[in-house]
Amino acid sequence: MQQYFISKEDLEKNRITGDDVFHIRSVMRGRVGDKFIVTDESLMYLVSIVSIEKDVVNFKKEEAMSLDTELPFFVDIYQGYPKGDKLDDICKHSTELGVNKVYAVNMKRSIVKIDPKKLEAKTLRYDTIMKEASEQSHRTRKAHFGGIIDLKKIDFSNYDSLILAYEESAKQGEYSNFRTEVLKMKEGSRMAILIGPEGGIDETEVKYLTKLGFIPSGLGKRILRTETASLYALAAISYESELK
């Protein structure tokens, strides 16, 4: 069943406005009586369409829903900016797996160089992908794209745990740091996971990050592609924290 994130005001007024009106009218071919789910990230309702107008869809609330689809703690992914359209898939699938925010990080071995004129448009694109994926996967909260940022401009001081996905740790036989950190996490706490781009993480960046408190961690016995690592980490967190 389709879900839409709406404002608190629209929820109180039993309406949907903005781009979702076009989606309901032209993509979903909505009709009076059709049902879907709405949430303001606090309250959630099953609703049915009362009327469809040019700029608004009016609905009536059928029943309140209690749906907790969030990981027990917040996980932000700091992804070394990958080439091509890989970041599209990372944003989409990490949202399905419960990420809170995704950031694209400019690192020494990043191949992609962003034209400053395109920065705003790209940020909006990735955030839209994550909004739609949040709705598709019936998230209670909407995941967000945090932006494109240089590594040394990031403030990591508000996190309870800092994980550096580092293939050299796996090569040296380290397989427990990540799980140990996950098991330490308390409900509502915050974890940052940093993943390098295709070329990996430069040694100078490893030294910089470990000084900040990042824990170099292997993610299994195999070497993962940059677009796979975040999904592996989030799936592992889900397994440890939700499938008990």
Q: Beta strands 101-106 and 144-150: pairing type?
A: parallel
pLDDT tens, 25-49? 988 899 999 999 999 998 999 999 9
Q: Using CB atoms within 10 A of its CB, is residue 150 exposed (0-12), middle (13-18) or buried (19+)? A: exposed
> Residue 153 carries which DSSP code?
G
* Domains, the chain: 3-65 (2.40.240.20), 74-242 (3.40.1280.10)
Exposure letters 61-86 (e unless 16+ CB within 10 A, then b):
eeeebeeeeebbbbbbbbbbbbeeeb
Q: Write out pLDDT tens, residues 75-132.
A: 999 999 999 899 999 999 999 999 999 999 999 988 877 777 888 899 999 999 999 9
Please state the rounded mean pLDDT for residues 56-76.
Answer: 93
Which pLDDT score is estimated for 115? 77
Distance CA 25, CA 190 (A): 39
For tokens 């993943």, the residue is: 195
Amino acid at 136: Q
Average pLDDT, the chain: 93
Please report the pLDDT score of residue 199 as a whole number.
86
The percent of residues in the chain predicted with pLDDT above 70, rounded, is 98
pTM of the model: 0.90
Q: What's the residue count for the chain? A: 244
* 206, pLDDT greater than 90: yes
Q: Span 161-184, mean pLDDT? A: 85
Q: What is the pLDDT of residue 66?
A: 80
Q: How many CA atoms lie within 13 A of 161 on its CB side?
A: 25
- What is d(CA 71, CA 68) in angstroms, rounded to the nearest whole number? 9
Q: Tell me which of 9-13, 160-164, 165-169, 190-194 is least confident.
A: 165-169
Q: Which residue has the higher pLDDT, 174 or 184?
A: 184
Helix (H, G, I), strand (E, B) or coil at 201: coil
Q: Cβ(181)–Cβ(163) under 8 Å?
A: yes
> In 21-73, which ranges are E strands?
35-39, 44-52, 57-65
Of the pLDDT bands very low, low, confident and very high (cuts 50, 70, 90), residue 210 is: very high
Q: How many CB atoms lie within 10 A of CB 49?
A: 18
